[in-house]
Homo-oligomer: A and B are copies of this chain.
């Protein structure tokens, strides 16, 4: 289900290069006729680390992606080219406009599901970072009737509720399960609403945060919570955090999560 967007700005040499690159088949690109804006190198570096950390912590495998809002223009975001997160380097980070078009693609393939990111950034101005993954322990909660709920204070952010996106409800015809259009991205964003995490039936989940540190923390502890909740449910009735406990614990987590980020970043640097 590859989608290509032909440029009308045919005189643009960058755009011409893109057309040449896409001519050979599977590469998918979508370029917007606007000028690129250099992002803060520290932000790019953190985005690279976020890719590696999500792999090291078992949230992503060869697939999945993480983005961050552009620090120079809040309508844009940064996201790696289509590749395995564990291998991402600063050179692989691309810039996208509000509709998910690559701004300076230079022939690089882009993720089919970049619309997950673009449509959430549109509807959630306070969100600064988005993770999409096939987080393994989360998958069973997306295909059964059991809600994901905060089992301990580290996953208190789940207290805001975890809706499940059913792609069959968003589009009448059977799909390939991918959120590969702006329309499907918008439907997912509507399901997410004001929550921090939404599950995607038969697919994975999406996690949002106000920073890369927060979105990575949330993605890791969503995975851990799913594992522990499944374990606990086998023992019997589970005493989850109350709404008030979750709200209060979330604030503490926000204040201390840098401790985990620092550890994970050091480990990622040593490995990658």
- Show the binding face of A for B, using Cβ within 8 Å: 1-2, 26, 61-63, 82-84, 86-87, 112, 134, 136-137, 139-146, 150-154, 156, 174-178, 201-204, 224, 227-228, 230-242, 244-245, 248-249, 251-252, 255-256, 259-264, 266
Contacts and interface: CB of A to CB of B under 8 A. Distances in A.
Given A224-B136, A231-B137, A248-B174, A202 B239 contact: yes
24 contacts: A1-B248, A1-B251, A62-B260, A62-B264, A63-B256, A63-B260, A83-B262, A84-B262, A112-B252, A139-B232, A140-B151, A140-B235, A142-B152, A144-B232, A144-B239, A145-B235, A145-B236, A150-B202, A152-B177, A153-B176, A177-B248, A178-B249, A202-B245, A233-B234
A137 B151 CA distance: 12
A255 B241 CA distance: 40
Contact of A151 (B83, B150, B202, B263): B202
Contacts of A260: 61-63, 84
A142 B232 CA distance: 9
A53 B119 CA distance: 36
Given A2-B255, A256-B63, A176 B143 contact: no
A241 B203 CA distance: 9
Contacts of A177: 152-153, 156, 241, 245, 248-249, 252
Contacts of A235: 140-141, 144-146, 230, 233
Contacts of A255: 2, 26
B153 A178 contact: yes
B153 A203 contact: yes
Contacts of A263: 62, 84, 86-87
